[in-house]
Amino acid sequence: GQPVLSVRDLRVEFVTRRGILKAIDGVSFHIDRGEVLGVVGESGAGKSVTGSAVIGLIDPPGRIAGGEILLNGKRIDNLPPEEMRRIRGKRIGMIFQDPLTSLNPLYTVGEQLVETIRTHTSLSASGARKRAIDLLAEVGIPAPERRIDSYPHEFSGGMRQRVVIALALCAEPELIIADEPTTALDVSVQAQIIFLLKKLGREHGTAIMLVTHDMGVIAETADRVAVMYAGRVAEIGPVREVVQQPLHPYAQGLMGAIPSLHGDAQRLAQIPGSMPRLSAIPPGCSFNPRCPFAFDRCRTERPEAVSRGKHPVACHLYDPVPAAAEAHA
Ligand code: SF4
Ligand code: MG
C-alpha cells in the first residue's frame, strides 16, 4: 500500500543576513504503516528540522524551499496553518525530549487526556475518562484509575514520558514523530520507553519517525534507518544492513561507535572532526574533510543517492562513473 509518510526532495532554508543557509538540501524517505524509521546523525545534521517540516512547524526565518511532504498520499506541506494545526495532534502525534513540554503542569494528566480525547472523538466525559484510564494502562502506568488524577510533577521522568505517549495516542494518529524521546531520561528507563513506543506502533499500525543521535536506540528499535549528514541523507536502508554493513564512510564511523542502550551515548564523537556549520558546508561531498576515503571527485562533485543492488547510499565510492563522463559518453 502507499506509505503513511512520503518526503520527496525536501529543501528547507533559513534566510539570514549573511545569506541563505540550506538546512535540508534534498531529503527523501518514506515510512510505512506500523514501521519505525530511525533518523540518526550528529547534532546539526537536520534531523529535527526534517521532523519540524513534516509537522508544519518551520518558523521564519526558516522556510520550506522545495519538495513535497505527503501524508497517506495527500500533500500536507502546502496547507493553510489552520488546517495543519488540525493535522498536528490528530493525524500526527508528537513526542519530544522533555515530557514537560507536552504536559501542562496546572492540570492533572486525566484532565489533559480527557480533553484531548474529547477534541478528537465523540466520546462523553465519562467515556473519555474510561478511555484515558485504558490508555494509561496500555502505556504501563501502574494503578491508572488512581494515577489519572495526579499532576505531571507527581510522576517520574520515565512515567511522564509514558503519559506523553498516551497523550499522543489519544487521537489514534497515523504518524508519530518522536524527537530524542529518551535523551532526557535515566539510562535505566530509556530502553523501556523505546520498546513501548515500538510495540504500540506495531499494535496501532502507527508509522513512527524516531529522531535520535543515539545509534544504540536505532539499532534496537528501528525497522529502517536514515543516516543524515549536513542536511542530506547519506544512507538509508533496513536497520540490519545499515547497522551491520554500513556502506557510507560516515555511517561506518557511526556504527563503529554504537553505544549500547545501557552505555555511553557520547561515543559518536569518535569520528574525527565535526559536522560543518550550515554557513560553511564544503563543496562536493559535505563529509569530505572528515572522510578517510576522500578522493578528488569528492571535493568537487556532490554525490547523489545510488543503489547498486543494495539500499541507497550517497557516496562516490559506490558510483564509479562520474556524471560528467556519463553525460558526454
Ligand atoms: Fe567519502 Fe567521497 Fe564518499 Fe563523501 S563521496 S563519503 S568524501 S568517499
Ligand atoms: Mg535535534
139-195 pLDDT, tens digit per residue, is: 999 999 999 999 999 999 999 999 999 999 998 999 999 999 998 888 888 888 999
Q: What is the pLDDT of residue 262?
A: 42
Q: Is the CB of 288 under 6 A from ligand 1?
A: yes
> Which of the ligands is closest to the CA of residue 298?
1
Q: What is the pLDDT of residue 268?
A: 44
Instruction: Show Cβ contacts of residue 199 under 8 Å, excluding neighbours closer than 6 positions.
Output: none
For 293, the grid coordinates are 576515503
CATH number (3.40.50.300, 3.40.630.10, 3.40.250.10, 3.30.70.60) of 5-91+171-328 reads: 3.40.50.300
Q: Is the CB of 291 under 6 A from ligand 1?
A: yes
257-276 pLDDT, tens digit per residue, is: 554 444 444 444 467 788 88
Q: Is the CB of 316 under 6 A from ligand 1?
A: yes
Q: Is the CB of 195 under 6 A from ligand 1?
A: no
205-224 pLDDT, tens digit per residue, is: 999 999 998 888 888 899 99
> Between 322 and 199, where is the model more confident?
199
**Starting at the edge strand that comes first in sequence, how are the strands of the sheet with 19-31 ordered?**
19-31, 5-16, 62-71, 74-75
User: For residue 239, how far is its CA from the centre of ligand 1 (angstroms)?
Assistant: 21
Q: What is the pLDDT of residue 270?
A: 62
For 229, the grid coordinates are 549528514
> Which of the ligands is closest to the CA of residue 317?
1
Ligand 1, atom 4, residue with closest C-alpha? 285
Grid cell 491508572 is found at: 144
The neighbouring-strand residues paired with 21 are 14
Q: Is the CB of 306 under 6 A from ligand 1?
A: no
For 272, the grid coordinates are 574525527
Q: What is each CA distance from 80 to 56, 60, 75, 276, 296, in whole angstroms?
A: 10, 15, 12, 34, 46
| DSSP structural state of residue 313 | B
Instruction: Write the ipTM.
Output: 0.96
Evaluate whether 174 touches 91 at the Cβ level (below 8 Å). yes
Q: What is each CA distance from 111 to 74, 238, 244, in whole angstroms?
A: 33, 40, 45
| Residue among 281, 288, 313 whose CB has most ligand 1 atoms within 8 A, to mutate | 288
Q: What is each CA distance from 34 to 80, 202, 248, 280, in whole angstroms?
A: 28, 5, 27, 38
For 190, the grid coordinates are 530509556
182-189's contacts with Cβ under 8 Å and 24+ in sequence apart are: 182/212, 182/214, 182/217, 183/97, 183/212, 183/213, 183/214, 184/97, 184/98, 184/99, 184/157, 185/157, 185/158, 185/161, 186/157, 186/158, 187/261, 187/262, 188/262, 189/156, 189/157, 189/158
| Residue among 227, 286, 296, 298 whose CB has most ligand 1 atoms within 8 A, to mutate | 298
Mean pLDDT computed over every residue of the chain: 90
> Which of the ligands is closest to the CA of residue 318?
1
Ligand 1: which atom is nearest the Cα of residue 248? Answer: 6
Q: What is the pLDDT of residue 257?
A: 55
